[in-house]
Amino acid sequence: MRVKKLTERNVGISSDDDMIDITTSGTMTERTLNQRSPINLPGSGETEDIPGIGQYEDFHTIDWQRDIARDRMRHRYILKRKQNSFIDLIKSAHDAWSGWLCVLLVGLVTGTVAAIIDIGTSWMSDLKFGICPQAFWLNMEQCCWSSNETSFELDKGNCSQWFYWSEIMTSSNYGPFAYIVSYLFYIAWALLFAALAAGLVRMFAPYACGSGVPEIKTILSGFIIRGYLGKWTLLIKSVGIMMCVSAGLSLGKEGPMVHIASCIGNILSYLFPKYGRNEAKKREILSAAAAAGVSVAFGAPIGGVLFSLEEVSYYFPLKTLWRSFFCALVAAFVLSSINPFGNEHSVMFYVEYHRPWMFFELIPFIGLGIIGGVIATVFIKCNIKWCRFRKTSILGQYPVMEVLLLTAVTAILSYPNPYTRMGTSQLIYLLFSQCDVSSNDGLCDYTNDKANVAGPGVYTAMLLLSMAFVLKLVTTIFTFGIKVPCGLFIPSLAMGGITGRIVGILMQQLAAKHPHLWFFDNSCGLLGQEGCITPGLYAMVGAAAVLGGVTRMTVSLVVIMFELTGGVRYIVPLMAAVMASKWVGDALGKEGMYDAHIQLNGYPFLDSKEDIVHTALAADVMQPRRAENLNVLTQSSMSLEDTEILLKETEHNGFPVVVSRESQYLVGYVLRRDLQLALENAKRTIDGLLPESLILFTDITQQVMPPPIKLKKILDMAPITITDQTPMETVVDMFRKLGLRQTLVTHNGRLLGVITKKDILRYIKQVDNEDPSSVLFH
Amino acid sequence: MRVKKLTERNVGISSDDDMIDITTSGTMTERTLNQRSPINLPGSGETEDIPGIGQYEDFHTIDWQRDIARDRMRHRYILKRKQNSFIDLIKSAHDAWSGWLCVLLVGLVTGTVAAIIDIGTSWMSDLKFGICPQAFWLNMEQCCWSSNETSFELDKGNCSQWFYWSEIMTSSNYGPFAYIVSYLFYIAWALLFAALAAGLVRMFAPYACGSGVPEIKTILSGFIIRGYLGKWTLLIKSVGIMMCVSAGLSLGKEGPMVHIASCIGNILSYLFPKYGRNEAKKREILSAAAAAGVSVAFGAPIGGVLFSLEEVSYYFPLKTLWRSFFCALVAAFVLSSINPFGNEHSVMFYVEYHRPWMFFELIPFIGLGIIGGVIATVFIKCNIKWCRFRKTSILGQYPVMEVLLLTAVTAILSYPNPYTRMGTSQLIYLLFSQCDVSSNDGLCDYTNDKANVAGPGVYTAMLLLSMAFVLKLVTTIFTFGIKVPCGLFIPSLAMGGITGRIVGILMQQLAAKHPHLWFFDNSCGLLGQEGCITPGLYAMVGAAAVLGGVTRMTVSLVVIMFELTGGVRYIVPLMAAVMASKWVGDALGKEGMYDAHIQLNGYPFLDSKEDIVHTALAADVMQPRRAENLNVLTQSSMSLEDTEILLKETEHNGFPVVVSRESQYLVGYVLRRDLQLALENAKRTIDGLLPESLILFTDITQQVMPPPIKLKKILDMAPITITDQTPMETVVDMFRKLGLRQTLVTHNGRLLGVITKKDILRYIKQVDNEDPSSVLFH
């Protein structure tokens, strides 16, 4: 009945502003929506909600234009109803506010979850070393605080409430036996945590592994991966990341935080049908959530928004910039209110420098950038090789074993070196910070009479740091990609931080021993005792360089580092290093880690930044290659039987409708899904339907027998078309900017073929001399 | 000869990657470019450069797709030539770097010009009060510094080197006579500066007036206004803005700085043909330059980039984000190296707070936001009314008189009040800063025993500030829009700062007198002497609120204010106020000041943010309304005479080409300009041409007499087409995102009409119930 009733409505173009006119005269997109959207149509009284409308199947790409048109339709409908009653007015207000409300909730929940993860990670990390018997739920720092001891220093053990495992087991914290006990406990806890994490991921949420950023980039570009942002993924990823970090694996929780925040965004968007039921609109919330994820990971709301804008978001309307910023800010505010690190900042490695840098120092900073780019390239290339090996070899079938083995090796090698034994975030904080009187690490062992001349402790520390660097690099290459949640921000920052700190100390010693070299510009001589080189700043620059090389982030990375240091002063060094690193990285290897993993996994991601020099025309790329193979519907000459055969014999997602097979003049486009639904409906509702009943996409009023199926209502009469002479650059541009799923190729008005997003991706692969069949696509 | 020679080339589709194949088989866009671009075509040896190609006439809109295609073509050509010789390799490297080199130069020059303007403004402003006889080129501060006096305080005159005019004239700085002398000198200098500025603008550069931001928005959206970014505008605007600020008019130099930076970007882009000769590419440089302009205006490079992204830029590819950031940073770095303010920051009103804010304070902050929105709306509405009156009345014919009159009134009213007598930047700095022991302004007259209880000086200051607020509001309403360079950032900040400071002092007194009220959360009692309210923070929040209401900036404004204070801590208050202000502003009046001025002047600006709820279809908007009035060319049946008549009788910028008048099947699109050039060329070069010679857009090989004119080369065979059933939202979206100039409307392959950008703008005006004929357009 449904289709029949609707087709009987008078159809005509109306310039009237009235909603009912749109319903009957709009294009297919709007009309189909009206027919089936869950909204009550005015006058029709229909409330049925055909499930699956506006939704897509798994591993399909979305049609942005269609979804946005659906949302406009819904919006217009609500505006129209606004005057009707008070409840409708409230509904309209709720609709207007729901975007803000949703991102507010996302921000609140993200901040809370981040705080729980931070607290849990800190507690579990300390559990590897010992326990607070009076209150086992406290970590080392809190335990010592609660005992009111005034001087607390990490790893010094001068806190009576905290017991190391060796103390509990052997009643002593010193001697080789205690060391071995501690070592064994460390490894045992690490294995336990890793086993739990890997087991949970394998059993409950296979999507919870990895960093998640490549997949989120793909999802935001308009691809559907069901369950990737679901509640199980959220739960397991949150728990898993705490365990993995605590297990001492060489990974970070910053990348997964983006995934966790996106899960929160996805789940909460279902509270608001405006977003939950519309994939295009939902991606606005997801963009904001990604910003909140980075915001809580680094305590950098502005950096988070820029990360979302620059790195992960695809179709980022500027009006969501403000909303993303709000979301990121709320999340950061909640996190800093819960205050997991006991200081006023929401990241562990917040530092504040005051010493100015000299113009001359740009040379070592750029040098650090170049080194960072090289390290990043080595890291990416080796990691991708290993991941490809994992995908293709037997190794991929034993993910839990791999995790356990890697954890054991990492733990065994990490424990002896104090810089790898401590948490990576703590290491980064140590590397970034300046030495002052209270520092008692080897790194700050400066001779007393001249504060900037290194003592033997510094050289020992440098040796240990070099070993730590090698260990981090090797373990991270094997770690990123294993089947537990793991991010690469923290290991990259640590590698870069070590490099930078070492270069910084070398520079500092040069300045201390030869303060009157011309390039020190006399500043070093003048400052005397204080020294003129800040090794911590070098560590930060080096960290930014490696991370920049690995992720190819630019502005957002500089802004994140700037928010960590809280001073405009150091933007220039950071920028110089990040720029050098990016250029070196681009020269040595084409893409960053995330894009390399997208390629590796064959996600259908159409990069919006890359500018490929195409030379082909639409005619060279369109399918089919030969016009006689083109599967089309005709507007008034095909029977039900013909259509059903066509549906059975082909797998296209949609069919162009033409005037006649001979002329091939394009009339419109109909989706396979809509056609199937409409045919089923017609069979149920139209009496006397025969296989030879005509399928009509035109307005025919005279009676014909057997009764035809009138389908003009499901015809999209405004498909995007291009001519066969259009250069592929323009076509790719249209796909990117308009978010198309397919476009129809015509010549002098005649249909020649179709170009789908799949064709575009295959074509780009071909241009890049890669295997076009590697794209994962339905 | 030219067209003939080219048409004789073999034309066919080729999938070969070769450049030469593209030249002969690409679409019109590429082929026309090859024919005429200044690049030597391989094998052809042609070097002639037909002037005006790729350029547009004044007040025309640009075709982004065409310009981008031209650039891709050029790029491909350079890549191709790279292997040929060493010089070509260098050329290719130069081409790759020219974008970076150009923005580097823009940054350097912008920073330098900004420093000169800052120094000049400071000197001329002080000249109104007195002179440094030993070195007249020094301003008051430098003069006193050079005299090695240790305690220097503004307006106190305890500096022996600096002489006030009253001292020089009457040998005394006290008494009523000295006051009158000072007053008169102040007015005289103000009138002199204003007369100079207005005269210069009127004589040499009429485009140098105003803030320039509305026009730059329009230019960046793809409109041509010749001379708007020229060298005369740059020179006069730079000199003029120094004079206007010094004249004490209620205006700022921050908006004009964006215009000045854009002029620099435009001028320098001519050094690089890649940018100078391509309007679309040039806009990438202009976006970066606008970022640099804000960066030097506020010492906020990140804020500048976000301003450029959020407010002025239109077609902002993400890859230029990084370049804009670089440009903004270089400019800020140069400015702070030249160090015009003698401190380490590049703005006068840099402040650093340390006191935390209380959660409860969000209520007054949001209150300030609401007040700010109201003030902004009053300001915008009154200003637009006055500007409309100026446009339509006799007042518009006497711009210099208007400036002089306004200067005189402003000077007379400003001098008596110390807060309006000082420069507006100084006032803002005073409002933003915290009181400490060295402050001796009335605003800091707190009783000594309790630092946070106001003395009588504070109340006097509040009264004076209220008067200053009224004066600023009234004078700014009349000032913004006069025919001298003038920006509205500084007056807006001042108005908001005054409001905020007053609210802050009231809050502070409430806290001082009732520190144990529940909502003060005990913090105020605890802090005791120090007080818990920072009136300077209120001033900053108020300033952000008013500026946010006036310009409707959001993220960029918060980031700019954050960079001014240098602390993440105050983002939440700023954001709350800006958000409240924007919402109040949006509720009370539709648009911000810049958009209102764009409307007022009728610039053809297609807003990329606004989401208009259209209900029409392309068929309702396209021209002509009746198909028989459509002016088309046919592909092979029109004679030279017919074509020339068509050219003479119509004024369209281009003509669709169809198979035949009867069928109307679309073949392509040809630009009027190209057609005219080609016909002229043909008349010169083809022998025996008769009026009845055919114009052929097809490949015809047989000989016909009289000789036909073959024009397939100038035919764009890939025009963007839509169907008549496309909803206008989609059409507007395509215009915005693809930067179209026109689109062709078809139905079943037949051409129905054309929609140009002008039609779109008229349509939007109609939807908004405004006069569609007010759009300024060729």
Give the DSSP per-residue string, B477-543: HHHTTSSSB-BSHHHHHHHHHHHHHHHHHHHHHHHHH-TT-GGGTTHHHHHGGG-S--HHHHHHHHH
pLDDT confidence bin for A163, thresholds 50/70/90: confident
The answer to whether B577 faces chain A, any CB pair under 8 Å, is: no
Mean pLDDT of A684-711: 81
Residue-wise DSSP of B253-289 = SHHHHHHHHHHHHHHHHTTSHHHHT-HHHHHHHHHHH
Q: Among B371, B360, B303, B274, which Cα is nearest to B566's?
A: B303
Contacts of A301 (CB under 8 A, 6+ apart): A291, A295, A325, A328, A329, A331, A332, A563, B568, B571
- Closest approach of chain A CAs to the CA of B22, in angstroms? 7
Question: In degrees, to the nearest 5, what angle opens at C-alpha B544 toward C-alphas B540 and B547?
Answer: 135
**Most confident stretch, A1-15, A136-150, A468-482:** A468-482
List phi, psi (to 5°) of B754. -130, 140
Q: Do residue A725 and residue B738 have CB atoms under 8 angstroms apart?
A: no
Residue of A nearest to B18 (CA): A615
Residues of B in contact with A552 (CB under 8 A): none
Q: How far is CA A134 from CA A139, A141, A146, B282, in A?
A: 11, 14, 10, 69
**Cα of B478 vs its chain's centroid, Å:** 21
Are A507 and A538 in contact by the 8 Å Cβ rule? The answer is: yes
Residues of A in contact with B564 (CB under 8 A): none
Taking the C-alpha atoms of residue A87 and residue A243, their distance in angstroms, rounded to an integer, is 48
List phi, psi (to 5°) of B570. -95, 10
Taking the C-alpha atoms of residue A773 and residue A687, their distance in angstroms, rounded to an integer, is 46
Q: Which has more pLDDT, B198 or A456?
A: B198
Residue of A nearest to B302 (CA): A559
Are B347 and B564 in contact by the 8 Å Cβ rule? The answer is: yes
Q: How do B638-639 and B654-658 pair as beta strands?
A: unpaired
Are A292 and A304 in contact by the 8 Å Cβ rule? The answer is: yes
The answer to whether B660 faces chain A, any CB pair under 8 Å, is: no
Q: Which has more pLDDT, B457 or A25?
A: B457
Q: Which has more pLDDT, A200 or A174?
A: A200
Residue B426 has a CB neighbour count (10 Å cut-off) of 17
A737: exposed, middle or buried (Cβ count in 10 Å: 0-12, 13-18, 19+): middle
Are A102 and A324 in contact by the 8 Å Cβ rule? The answer is: no
The answer to whether B33 faces chain A, any CB pair under 8 Å, is: no
**What is the per-residue pLDDT for A777?**
54
Q: How far is CA A141 from CA A145, A178, A249, A336, A419, in A?
A: 6, 22, 22, 18, 18
B 299-318 residues with CB < 8 A to A: 299, 301-302, 305, 309-310, 317-318
Q: Among A121, A116, A592, which Cα is nearest to A334's?
A: A116
DSSP B772: G
Q: Which has more pLDDT, A73 or B186?
A: B186
- Determine the residue type at A213: V
The answer to whether A434 faces chain B, any CB pair under 8 Å, is: no
Residues of A in contact with B737 (CB under 8 A): 737-738
The answer to whether A559 faces chain B, any CB pair under 8 Å, is: yes
Q: Which two tokens stand for residue B273?
A: 């043909």
Are B251 and B237 in contact by the 8 Å Cβ rule? The answer is: no
**Which helix (H) or strand (E) element contains residue B362?**
helix B362-392
Taking the C-alpha atoms of residue A27 and residue A14, their distance in angstroms, rounded to an integer, is 12
B336-391 residue pLDDT tens: 888 766 665 566 677 777 777 888 888 999 999 999 999 999 999 999 999 999 98
Q: Do residue B13 and residue A321 have CB atoms under 8 angstroms apart?
A: no
Q: Among B576, B515, B514, which Cα is nearest to B540's?
A: B576
Q: Residue for token digits 């409308």?
A: A53
Contacts of B528 (CB under 8 A, 6+ apart): none
Nearest to B321 among A18, A310, A325 (CB): A310
A579-592 residue pLDDT tens: 999 999 999 987 89
Residues of B in contact with A79 (CB under 8 A): 613
Instruction: Give the whole-number percent of chain A exceeding pLDDT 70.
Output: 85
Taking the C-alpha atoms of residue B214 and residue B380, their distance in angstroms, rounded to an integer, is 14
Number of helices (H), then strands (E), belonging to chain B: the values are 31, 11
Are B129 and B143 in contact by the 8 Å Cβ rule? The answer is: no
DSSP A252: B
DSSP B594: H
Residues of A in contact with B76 (CB under 8 A): 613, 615
Q: What is the pTM of this model?
A: 0.86
**What is the per-residue pLDDT for B114?**
94
Q: Which two tokens stand for residue B353?
A: 């707070």
Q: Which two tokens stand for residue A400?
A: 């839990």
**Most confident stretch, A52-66, A336-350, A636-650, B12-26:** A636-650
Residue A64 has a CB neighbour count (10 Å cut-off) of 20
A385: exposed, middle or buried (Cβ count in 10 Å: 0-12, 13-18, 19+): exposed
Bridge partner residues of B372 (DSSP): none
Residue of B nearest to A746 (CA): B749
Q: Residue for token digits 């006032």?
A: B427
pLDDT confidence bin for A15, thresholds 50/70/90: very low
Q: How far is CA A333 from CA A60, A119, A296, A299, A320, in A?
A: 37, 16, 9, 9, 20
Nearest to A13 among B555, B619, B718 (CB): B619
Are B722 and B738 in contact by the 8 Å Cβ rule? The answer is: no
Q: Do residue B609 and residue A572 have CB atoms under 8 angstroms apart?
A: no
pLDDT confidence bin for A41, thresholds 50/70/90: very low
Best probe of the B interface among A725, A734, A751, by most B CBs < 10 A, is A725
Residues of A in contact with B13 (CB under 8 A): 617, 619-620
Bridge partner residues of B665 (DSSP): B750
The answer to whether B23 faces chain A, any CB pair under 8 Å, is: no
Q: Do residue B725 and residue A27 have CB atoms under 8 angstroms apart?
A: yes
The answer to whether B722 faces chain A, any CB pair under 8 Å, is: yes
**What is the per-residue pLDDT for B191?**
95
Mean pLDDT of A247-260: 92
Residues of chain B by 3-state class (helix, strand, coil), percent to 5: 60, 5, 35
Mean pLDDT of A27-55: 38
Instruction: Give the whole-number percent of chain A exceeding pLDDT 90.
Output: 32
pLDDT confidence bin for A298, thresholds 50/70/90: confident
- Closest approach of chain B CAs to the CA of A340, in angstroms? 17
Q: How do B721-723 and B709-710 pair as beta strands?
A: unpaired
Q: Do residue B613 and residue A729 have CB atoms under 8 angstroms apart?
A: no
**What is the per-residue pLDDT for A316?**
67
Q: Do residue A726 and residue B737 have CB atoms under 8 angstroms apart?
A: no
Contacts of A368 (CB under 8 A, 6+ apart): A496, A499, A500, A503, A538, A541, A542, A545, A577, A580
Please tell me whether residue A320 adopts helix, strand or coil conformation: helix
A490-532 residue pLDDT tens: 999 999 999 999 999 998 888 877 777 777 766 665 555 556 7
The answer to whether B27 faces chain A, any CB pair under 8 Å, is: yes
The answer to whether A725 faces chain B, any CB pair under 8 Å, is: yes
- Determine the residue type at B203: M
The answer to whether B603 faces chain A, any CB pair under 8 Å, is: no
Are A558 and A578 in contact by the 8 Å Cβ rule? The answer is: yes
HSE-CB of B355 using CA atoms within 13 angstroms: 18
Q: Do residue B749 and residue A554 have CB atoms under 8 angstroms apart?
A: no
List phi, psi (to 5°) of B458. -65, -40
Q: Which two tokens stand for residue A382?
A: 């080796």
**What is the per-residue pLDDT for A696?**
87
Q: How far is CA A48 from CA A53, A145, A522, B375, in A?
A: 12, 61, 81, 49
**What is the per-residue pLDDT for B11?**
33
ipTM of the complex: 0.84
Residues of A in contact with B608 (CB under 8 A): 318
Residue-wise DSSP of B320-346 = HHHHHHHHHHHHHHHHHHH-TTSSSSS
Q: Do residue A616 and residue B15 have CB atoms under 8 angstroms apart?
A: yes
Q: Among B661, B670, B744, which Cα is nearest to B710's?
A: B670
pLDDT beyond 60 at A417: yes
In the predicted model, residues of chain B with pLDDT beneath 50 are 1-53, 149-156, 778
- Closest approach of chain A CAs to the CA of B616, in angstroms? 6
Residue-wise DSSP of A681-731 = HHHHH-TT--TTPEEE-S---S--SSPPEE-GGG-BS---EEETT-BHHHH
Residue-wise DSSP of A449-501 = SSTTSB-HHHHHHHHHHHHHHHHHHHHHHHHTTSSSB-BSHHHHHHHHHHHHH
- Closest approach of chain B CAs to the CA of A721, in angstroms? 7
Please tell me whether residue A324 adopts helix, strand or coil conformation: helix
Q: How do A742-747 and A694-696 pair as beta strands?
A: unpaired
Contacts of A663 (CB under 8 A, 6+ apart): A750
Residue of A nearest to B20 (CA): A615
